[in-house]
């Protein structure tokens, strides 16, 4: 949800003319509005539909041939003055689906002129008319598709009523509004799901049902238009909305920040200061003030919303816990999750039998996958609450996390905890456990290989031992999200449409409530023998087929996944919307896309088939969706996605050894090329199978942007991976500000546009600050924001832009404080021959940047040049600038980009 909203005003179009449009702009500014809406053309432009002319007149033939453009009398907006403050509208008289071929043609030619003029004067946006319910919209859809596919710098929004009474005649009350959505969906399907066309949703006097409104929240609603007629008047004479409308508008404010107040009456553009009308004398628009009041009084963001800020509808690859050394900063900040775990452990301790016959009263708890120790802390606190003696084992395979728990054992835990550096599947436990505790769950329950991990750990659990969690169930639901499907489709690799993504849903509408599809229980006493590892993983194969009924129609873009887990007895931990654990934010839902969206009619049955499959090396999911109608059978279906795990898998193998990319390494590209060559040497397997794309994406998380630029030079596969990382848009936002917008290239993935632009420009960010802030824009509460800095001049032809040719001497970019810290750790060797004495005058000539170093500059006085050791001078310069790279960058940096940089930026701007 935005912290502010943009509010515009739309008077009746027939009241706006070239003579009073500037008065309308002034009126909007006086009333505190952010923009006004005005027709682009005057009624005179209707002449192009032969009004006053014969179809074969000279004027018409010349206009049709493009020899005559619009005249000033055809325009309301005749100049670019205040164009950014104006949103234009197109007239309703253009008939794109007329039965008259000449009218259809001239309507299209007029639209081309109108869009061209709007781009020329840089209008703030264009509102396109909704097609009449009495005519077809097929040709209108083709016309929009044609012209919106051309480069445009003005946003276009189609005005769609949320409930068109003419369209909805004969529709049942609970489905009122579905015809308007279907009309929009028809046009959107023709334009393509990746179209630049947005929705300007017109709120009607009668609101549709909540299920229909949910469909709109999954659409690209960019503007909400509120007629003044939907407002009520309070006892003081000011406009307000009913409770129902307030709820709808508050929901929409979480999805869009642009609102338009439309009026059926033309206002007094020049305010009468002697008028008795309180609203006319009001210094600002009372309707706009009321909308801002609704925004101010929105419920404050909950813990989950605060945590997810910046992550809504952002695609993330699921973790590979058996390959990755996980980053625990996020997962260990969730207090709700650990409260649930602590309660479960406490109950399990209380249920353990009391020792008799002098037996030792000690309960053995083994925490497998201990991370940095939060579950160990839960176990110790639970033992105190339950008044039971415990001996805790903390098993962890991540070497970085193990250092942390070593420190905790030394300073906090002491002898109460035994720490073990090992993979839980291969560890030989010295004794059996009474309670086995783990937090290996993923967004789909089992998608991070919890079953496989706990199978290996079950052998050191006593016959009556307890596993926490006890079980976990996967849930699925058919879902609609134009944005998520567009984002996945934007990737060049077809495999991305057969991969799963962890997403904090925002612009998503579920077509039906989630249903359970399968469950895993631990310990598994049925399929596994005591004290033995499983011989195969076939017992963890699952299949489910679930049928849903869609209450309202919609587009099906994929399947949403959730989980519920019973930790112990009645302790439930869930991300399923119906049973979500309040305030818990450790897991976002999971999204399984489908290649081609399906239209689901109201009351249709949607069947989701899901498989969890495995072989000796990996686990993967396969899925398909079928749509059926009663009496007609199957009307649509998808192929099975991700057959054989060809596009996405979870590997059961330990991670491959990858050389550490040390800060300051001079040729990351060479190291990555060596890795790739080594992989290609395995003749029995293709490189993408041996080292799939998701593994490279995880490697990328440990590289600086300048090192990623070298990685992009290895081959086309890595170039494609690097160009799709969101790191580039974050660098752009930090460098130029969060409100800055970049013109995206039409022929590339969105992230690649940011990548190409950032590499063409002469500005960057300090990469060490960036990494220390976890590559997040909202990390100011932890560390200072990454420092924007200037890059040195690059006048060589070898630095054209990322993805083409790049200067391999580039290294990580650091601000001055980080350079100094870096130099203390990675001290650079001295060149040979730096033992001689050198005059300061000669020193300044050889090292111009030395004059900026206080300890050197103070060595000269009153025009006398003293001698000093060159090695000493270089030491002081390195200490001041942060190493040799600091000296060089200080000397070469410039505020103004050089000619080559400007040429690269011009190259970017010329791209389609």
Which of 346, 396, 439, 767 is the catalytic position? 439
E strand or H helix that includes residue 376: helix 374-386
Could you tell me the two tokens for 609? 């088939």
Q: In angstroms, rounded to a whole number, what is the distance separating the alpha carbons of residues 636 and 553?
A: 14
The neighbouring-strand residues paired with 419 are: 394
Torsions phi, psi for 755 (to 5 deg): -60, -50
Neighbours of 575 (CB within 10 A): 25
Strand-strand pairing, 362-368 and 389-396? parallel
Q: In angstroms, rounded to a whole number, what is the distance separating the alpha carbons of residues 732 and 632?
A: 52
Active site residue 439: yes
| DSSP 8-state class, residue 780 | T
* 8 A C-beta contact, residue 656 and residue 689: no
Please, what sign has the CA dihedral across residues 591, 254, 227, 156? negative
Active site residue 448: yes
**Closest C-alpha to 458, from 440, 477, 476:** 440
* 8 A C-beta contact, residue 505 and residue 305: no
Cβ partners under 8 Å of residue 356, min gap 6: none
Residue corresponding to tokens 């000279």 = 58
Q: In angstroms, rounded to a whole number, what is the distance separating the alpha carbons of residues 765 and 543?
A: 48
Cβ partners under 8 Å of residue 550, min gap 6: 478, 511, 512, 600, 601, 602, 603, 604, 605, 606
**Closest C-alpha to 212, from 181, 238, 183, 239:** 181
E strand or H helix that includes residue 564: strand 554-568
Q: In angstroms, rounded to a whole number, what is the distance separating the alpha carbons of residues 131 and 220?
A: 18
Which of 448, 498, 694, 870 is the catalytic position? 448
E strand or H helix that includes residue 870: helix 870-881
Residue corresponding to tokens 């003044």 = 228
Q: In angstroms, rounded to a whole number, what is the distance separating the alpha carbons of residues 703 and 398?
A: 19
Q: DSSP letters along 15-39, please?
A: G--TTTHHHHHHHHHHTT-SEEEEE
Q: In angstroms, rounded to a whole number, what is the distance separating the alpha carbons of residues 618 and 616?
A: 6
Q: In angstroms, rounded to a whole number, what is the distance separating the alpha carbons of residues 659 and 666?
A: 14
- Which residues are known to be catalytic? 439, 448
């Amino acid at each position: 949800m935005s912290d502010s909203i943009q509010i515009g005003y739309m008077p009746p179009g027939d009241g706006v003319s070239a003579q009073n449009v500037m008065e309308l702009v002034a009126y909007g500014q006086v009333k505190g509005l952010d923009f006004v809406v005005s027709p682009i053309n005057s009624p005179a432009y209707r002449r192009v539909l032969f009004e006053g002319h014969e179809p074969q007149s000279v004027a018409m033939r010349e206009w049709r041939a493009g020899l005559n453009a619009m005249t000033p009398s055809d325009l309301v907006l005749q100049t670019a003055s205040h164009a950014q403050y104006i949103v234009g509208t197109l007239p309703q008289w253009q008939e794109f689906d007329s039965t008259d071929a000449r009218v259809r043609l001239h309507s299209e030619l007029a639209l081309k002129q109108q869009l061209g003029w709007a781009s020329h004067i840089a209008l703030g946006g264009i509102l396109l008319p909704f097609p009449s319910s009495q005519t077809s919209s097929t040709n209108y859809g083709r016309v929009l598709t044609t012209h919106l596919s051309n480069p445009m710098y003005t946003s276009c929004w189609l005005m769609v009523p949320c409930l068109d009474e003419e369209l909805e005649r004969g529709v049942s009350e609970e489905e009122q509004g579905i015809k308007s959505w279907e009309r929009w969906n028809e046009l959107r399907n023709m334009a393509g799901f990746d179209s630049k066309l947005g929705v300007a949703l017109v709120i009607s006097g009668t609101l549709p049902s909540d299920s229909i409104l949910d469909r709109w929240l999954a659409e690209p609603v960019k503007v909400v238009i509120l007629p003044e007629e939907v407002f009520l008047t309070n006892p003081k004479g000011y406009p307000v909305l009913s409770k129902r409308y307030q709820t709808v508008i508050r929901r929409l404010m979480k999805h869009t920040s642009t609102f338009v107040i439309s009026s059926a009456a033309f206002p007094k553009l020049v305010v009468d200061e002697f008028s008795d009308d309180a609203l006319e004398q009001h210094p600002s628009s009372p309707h706009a003030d009321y909308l801002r009041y609704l925004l101010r009084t929105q419920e404050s963001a909950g813990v989950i919303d605060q945590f997810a800020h910046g992550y809504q509808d952002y695609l993330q690859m699921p973790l590979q816990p058996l390959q990755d050394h996980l980053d625990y900063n996020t997962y260990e900040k969730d207090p709700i999750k650990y409260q649930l775990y602590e309660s479960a452990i406490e109950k399990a301790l209380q249920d353990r039998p009391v020792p008799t016959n002098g037996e030792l009263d000690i309960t053995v708890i083994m925490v497998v996958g201990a991370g940095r120790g939060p579950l160990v802390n839960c176990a110790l606190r639970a033992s105190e609450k339950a008044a039971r003696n415990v001996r805790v084992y903390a098993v962890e395979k991540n070497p970085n996390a193990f250092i942390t728990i070593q420190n905790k054992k030394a300073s906090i835990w002491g002898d109460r905890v035994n720490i073990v550096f090992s993979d839980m599947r291969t560890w030989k436990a010295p004794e059996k456990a009474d309670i086995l505790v783990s937090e290996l769950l993923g967004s789909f329950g089992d998608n991070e290989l919890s079953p496989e991990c706990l199978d290996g750990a079950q052998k050191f659990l006593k016959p009556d031992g307890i596993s926490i969690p006890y079980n976990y169930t996967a849930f699925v639901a058919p879902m609609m999200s134009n944005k998520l499907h567009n984002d996945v489709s934007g990737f060049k690799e077809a495999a991305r449409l057969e991969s799963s993504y962890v997403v904090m849903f925002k612009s998503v509408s579920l077509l039906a409530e989630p249903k359970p599809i399968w469950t895993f229980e631990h310990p598994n006493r049925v399929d596994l023998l005591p004290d033995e590892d499983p011989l195969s993983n076939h017992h963890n194969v699952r299949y489910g087929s679930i049928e849903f009924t869609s209450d309202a129609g919609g587009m099906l873009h994929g399947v949403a996944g959730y989980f519920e887990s019973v930790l112990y007895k009645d302790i439930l931990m869930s991300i399923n919307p119906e049973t979500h654990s309040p305030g818990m934010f450790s897991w976002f839902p999971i999204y399984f896309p489908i290649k081609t969206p399906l239209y689901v009619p109201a009351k249709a049955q949607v069947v989701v088939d899901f498989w969890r499959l495995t072989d000796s090396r990996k686990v993967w999911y396969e899925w398909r969706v079928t749509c059926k109608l009663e009496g007609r059978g199957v009307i649509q279906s998808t192929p099975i996605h991700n057959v054989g795990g060809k596009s996405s898998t979870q590997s059961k193998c330990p991670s491959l050894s990858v050389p550490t990319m040390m800060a300051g390494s001079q040729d990351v590209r060479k190291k990555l090329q060596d890795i790739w060559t080594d992989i290609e040497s395995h003749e029995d397997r293709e490189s993408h199978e041996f080292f799939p794309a998701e593994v490279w994406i995880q490697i990328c998380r440990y590289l600086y942007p300048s090192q990623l630029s070298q990685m992009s030079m290895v081959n086309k596969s890595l170039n494609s991976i690097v160009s799709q990382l969101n790191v580039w848009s974050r660098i752009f936002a930090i460098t130029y500000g969060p409100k800055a917008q970049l013109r995206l290239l039409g022929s590339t993935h969105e992230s690649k546009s940011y990548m190409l632009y950032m590499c063409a420009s002469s500005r960057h960010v300090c990469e060490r600050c960036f990494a220390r802030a976890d590559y997040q824009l909202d990390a100011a509460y932890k560390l200072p924001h990454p420092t924007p800095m200037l890059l040195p001049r690059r006048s060589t032809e070898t630095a054209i832009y990322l993805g083409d040719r790049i200067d391999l001497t580039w290294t990580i970019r650091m601000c001055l404080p980080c350079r100094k810290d870096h130099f203390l750790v990675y001290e650079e060797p001295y060149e040979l021959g730096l033992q001689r004495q050198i005059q300061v005058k000669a020193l300044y000539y050889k090292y111009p940047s030395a004059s900026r170093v206080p300890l050197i500059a103070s060595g000269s006085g009153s025009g006398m040049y003293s001698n000093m050791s060159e090695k000493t001078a270089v030491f002081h310069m390195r200490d001041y600038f942060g190493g040799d790279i600091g000296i060089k960058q200080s000397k070469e940096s410039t505020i103004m980009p050089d000619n080559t940089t400007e040429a690269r930026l011009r190259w970017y701007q010329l791209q389609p």
